[in-house]
Chain A
Amino acid sequence: AQSVTQPDIHITVSEGASLELRCNYSYGATPYLFWYVQSPGQGLQLLLKYFSGDTLVQGIKGFEAEFKRSQSSFNLRKPSVHWSDAAEYFCAVLRDTGGGNKLTFGTGTQLKVEL
């Protein structure tokens, strides 16, 4: 069964500093990978996705992620964090069940930004 691990429950960074959120997946085939962001009291917004091709994908709000098959990782990065980036970040892997898509989420990483 596929699974997603986000080893960091909480991360605190200073505004303007760089950010990397870790994500490791376990999946037999080529995965469809996603990063979602959830601001307090809000729904889930898709930041970026990887399906195939270039292993470095660009997303919204200046985020990027790199797919590394050898490490089973899909880490999220941002060169300079803004205070508004404080939120919960979820990595997810998608499996096509043949009749529907099943998105399995990691446990999330809460990002705090110090001003």
Chain B
Amino acid sequence: DTAVSQTPKYLVTQMGNDKSIKCEQNLGHDTMYWYKQDSKKFLKIMFSYNNKELIINETVPNRFSPKSPDKAHLNLHINSLELGDSAVYFCASSSGPKLFFGSGTQLSVL
């Protein structure tokens, strides 16, 4: 019974394509996040949603568009993929100061 689940786990695609990563949490949390982990393992927040409303938007290219259809889901759509987008993307959720992370989506842009 996975608390925060992401799909797909692996995503390999060509430059210029558009792709989406989906995230669902069954913890009843109000807040969800997307984090990016680069090739040097550095983790950085991208977005945060609270009750379907965007509350944190770090300096992320506008090719990245998060969408939250309801508070249990936060999807990440990426347009015109670039080589530099290759990374592991983690979804997380929280109802207080403690974050729960998904297992990540490894995106490889060729």
Contacts and interface: CB of A to CB of B under 8 A. Distances in A.
Contact of A43 (B31, B41, B45, B102): B102
Considering residues B96, B98, B104, which has the most beta carbons from chain A within 10 angstroms of its beta carbon? B98
Contact of A99 (B33, B50, B96): B50
Identify which of A44, A45, A49, A96 gathers the most chain B CB atoms within 10 Å of its CB.
A44
Given A90-B43, A107-B40, A107-B41, A100 B48 contact: yes
Given A88-B41, A107-B41, 7 more contacts: A96-B97, A99-B50, A99-B56, A101-B94, A102-B45, A102-B56, A105-B44
Contacts of B90: 43-44
Contact of A42 (B56, B94, B100, B103): B103
Contacts of B94: 101
A51 interface: yes
23 contacts: A36-B101, A43-B90, A43-B101, A43-B102, A43-B103, A44-B43, A44-B101, A46-B99, A49-B98, A51-B97, A88-B41, A94-B99, A97-B56, A99-B48, A100-B31, A101-B48, A101-B96, A101-B97, A102-B48, A103-B33, A104-B45, A108-B43, A110-B41
A97 B55 contact: yes
Contacts of A38: 41
Interface residues of A, number: 25
Nearest to A105: B43
